[in-house]
Amino acid sequence: MSKKNVNQNRKQGQANGKASSTSSTKQEQVNDKSINVTASKQEQTTKPGQMPSKADVTATTRTNDASSKQGQTKKPGQMPSKAGVTAATKMHRPGNKPLTRQAMKYERRMEEQQRRAAQQRRAARTRLITILGVVAAVVFIAALVSYLVVQARANTSQARTVFDPNYQPIDGVYCDQLEQSTYHHHVHLTVYIDGNAVTVPQNIGIATAGSSADCYYWLHTHATDGIIHVEAPNAGTFTLKDFLDIWQSFAASNGSQISYSTQLASSAGWTVYINGKKVNQDFSKVDISSDQAWHEAITIMYNSPNAKPDTTFNWQPGY
């Protein structure tokens, strides 16, 4: 190749380089203008307080990327960076807006539910405390009553001496030289066994020495009328069992003078009536000493379904 041709090729290359550089510069200027126009339109189309759409975010992100990377060559198909998307989103996010009416209703509803739940918890605690208080009160009262009963019985027999060694206390009931009058009342007892009326013997609980009385148990009878005399030096708790045990003891010590039915030794099979009303109670535990028991008509039946219980008793003056 001649020197002339070489020079021509060199000039041609320089001309092509200038043209390429000029074309690239013009293309970048056109891109910058396009970017600025796009960003301006994007800002105008976004209303105040409105969240930008996904397309807007993408366009804005590309605009920011293009603006920050001017002069750099952008590869075809390159996606905007995550940092760019986040920055654009924050730039177009509206400020703190007031709660909507629906949100305020929801918030009030949640507060009301929490308030009601707290009230229910307080009510449950109150009920539990009340129940525990009632249970504790019942237990305390029951313990107090038991203590008073034991003390009353203990006080009744406290510091007492046995008048006659042949007649020891039975169930805490003493046999004194004289009848007591401090605590004095009466109940009536009717007994049926196998459908037949059984006579309650006289002088149960009255010990005799010859023709005169030696001592009187606090529970005793004077006649065969079924009247049980409750005569003690102090108020106490006495049951039908106490009287039946004294009856059994006197029957054993007096032979045939005082009869006693063996069925009376056990409470099984007996039906109890007080003033004509059936009571679901062990007949041996029937109270005969309280004020409520005064002048009660007690009927006990063994294998006597057709017998009629006493509803009352014809009390004579002085009883």
The answer to pTM > 0.75 is no
> Residue 188 falls within a domain, yes or no?
yes
Q: Does 121 share its domain with 219? A: no
Q: Does 190 share its domain with 294? A: yes
Residues of the chain above pLDDT 70, percent? 64
Q: Does 182 share its domain with 278? A: yes
What confidence score (pLDDT) does residue 141 get? 93
Q: Does 185 share its domain with 297? A: yes
Q: Does 252 share its domain with 202? A: yes
> Residue 242 falls within a domain, yes or no?
yes
SS3 25: helix
In the predicted model, what is the mean pLDDT of residues 280-299? 91
Task: Mark residue 172 as left, alpha or beta (left: phi above 0; alpha: psi -120 to 50; beta: remaining).
Answer: left
Q: Does 154 share its domain with 216? A: no
Q: Is the pLDDT of residue 157 over 70?
A: no
172: which 2 tokens? Answer: 């805490």
For residue 88, the number of C-alpha atoms closer than 13 Å in the C-beta half-sphere is 27
Q: Is the pLDDT of residue 273 over 50?
A: yes
What confidence score (pLDDT) does residue 148 get? 77
Calculate the CA 30 to chain-centre distance. Answer: 83
Q: Does 140 share its domain with 179? A: no
The pLDDT mean for the chain works out to 77
Q: Does 204 share its domain with 236? A: yes
Give buried/exposed letters for 67-94 (b at 16+ CB in 10 A, else e).
eeeeeeeeeeeeebeeebbeebeeebee
Q: Does 286 share its domain with 180? A: yes
What confidence score (pLDDT) does residue 319 get? 86
Q: The domain containing residue 124 runs over which residues?
A: 99-159
Q: Name the domain count of the chain.
A: 2
Q: Does 180 share its domain with 270? A: yes
Q: Does 183 share its domain with 295? A: yes
Give the tens place of pLDDT for each residue, 97-139: 677 888 888 888 899 999 999 999 999 999 999 999 999 999 9
Is-contact 240 283, C-beta < 8 A? yes
Is-contact 247 182, C-beta < 8 A? no
